Amino acid sequence: MRNLLMTVCYDGTSYYGFQTQPGGNTIQDCLEAAIRHLTGEVVKIHGSGRTDAGVHARAQPFHFITSSQIPVERWCLALNARLPADIRVTAAEEVELDFHARRSAKRKTYRYTINANRVPDVFQRNYQLHHPGRLNISAMQKGLSYLIGTNDYTSFASRHSTKASHVRTIDEARIEVDTSLARPESRDQGVVHLYISGNGFLQHMVRIIVGTLLEVGQGKRLPEEMKQILEAKDRKAAGPTAESKGLMLWSVEYD
């Protein structure tokens, strides 16, 4: 028996998230079907975590136990030949039997992308939230800074969260603005990437943070309110959940 750790990249537009669900059509279903097709084995893969319907992943790790003797360097090509074009395995390695893609994860980074140009980018339309109205980016940066640290993030978690504790640590959060496609004569603000890293994220957490920060950017809230929202420990205190299509699981780190 071997424990294989792989990394998958996917365009989540057509899927109900990573993890298998009664309704089917998830990334996990596609990966397990490809492994079954390749090896004949019925395996259960373990992702680094869930992603919501419509959320993308640049690099999501998963592991599974296999008795297959296929050399590790052959797996990417062999699985990719059996996967739809919007899912690709980008790396594979053998790890210790006690390694677990979710439980062993130390740090995760998500990226949320907002296109703040007047006209949306047709080539990125499934990967960006389009927000043509003026955004106060420095207010958003200031608001975001209040979320760094170890906090109870109940206000930024789905009401349906089933976790016993909502305490998590966000150790880094930053906003980068790419103005390469912005046309100043059109009041274009560029493409805003929000990167957020921490030891774990609650259901909808990044999307609620972004939905709330957009209200800060629109001038509907002051940046300082982010601190009060955290302290309220009440989902009602925060803003709406931003659309899933702008969210991408960027990376997962292990020791």
The residue within the footprint of its own copies, chosen from 69, 123, 162, 164 (CB under 8 A), is: 123
**What b/e string do you get for 30-63 counting C-beta neighbours within 10 Å, with b at 16 or more?**
bbbebbeebbeeebebbbbbbbbbbbbbbbbbbb
Share in percent of the chain as helix, strand, coil (round to 5): 25, 30, 45
Tokens 């089933």 belong to residue: 162
Listed ranges 63-71, 104-112, 116-124, 233-241: which one lies at the site for its own copies (CB under 8 A): 116-124
Do 210 and 193 form a contact (C-beta atoms < 8 A)?
no
Listed ranges 81-89, 189-197, 206-214, 233-241: which one lies at the site for its own copies (CB under 8 A): 81-89
Chain residues 44-73 in contact with its own copies, contact rule CB under 8 A = 56
Do 8 and 57 form a contact (C-beta atoms < 8 A)?
yes
Tell me: does residue 14 bind its own copies (CB under 8 A): no
- The answer to whether 110 is annotated as binding is yes
Tokens 């020791």 belong to residue: 255
Catalytic annotation present for 52:
yes
Q: Taking every pair of C-alpha atoms in the chain, what is the biggest distance, in angstroms?
A: 61
The residue within the footprint of its own copies, chosen from 43, 70, 72, 76 (CB under 8 A), is: 76
In angstroms, what is the minimal distance from the CB of 98 to its own copies? 26
In angstroms, what is the minimal distance from the CB of 143 to its own copies? 28
Tell me: does residue 119 bind its own copies (CB under 8 A): yes
Question: Closest CB to its own copies among 80 and 161?
Answer: 80
Continuous segment of H or E residues that includes residue 215: helix 205-217
The residue within the footprint of its own copies, chosen from 38, 59, 105, 120 (CB under 8 A), is: 120
Tell me: does residue 252 bind its own copies (CB under 8 A): no
Tell me: does residue 90 bind its own copies (CB under 8 A): yes
Which residues fall within 8 angstroms of residue 3, CB to CB, at 6 or more apart? 63, 64, 65, 94, 95, 96, 97, 99
Classify burial at 209, counting beta carbons within 10 Å of its beta carbon; exposed 0-12, middle 13-18, buried 19 or more.
buried
Listed ranges 38-46, 80-88, 191-199, 215-223: which one lies at the site for its own copies (CB under 8 A): 80-88
Please work out, in degrees rounded to the nearest 5, the angle formed at the alpha carbon of residue 133 by the alpha carbons of 131 and 138.
Answer: 90
Question: Closest CB to its own copies among 1 and 122?
Answer: 122
**Residues known to be catalytic:** 52
Q: Give contact residues for its own copies (rule: CB under 8 A).
A: 9-11, 56, 76, 80, 85-90, 118-123, 125, 127
Annotated binding-site members for substrate = 110
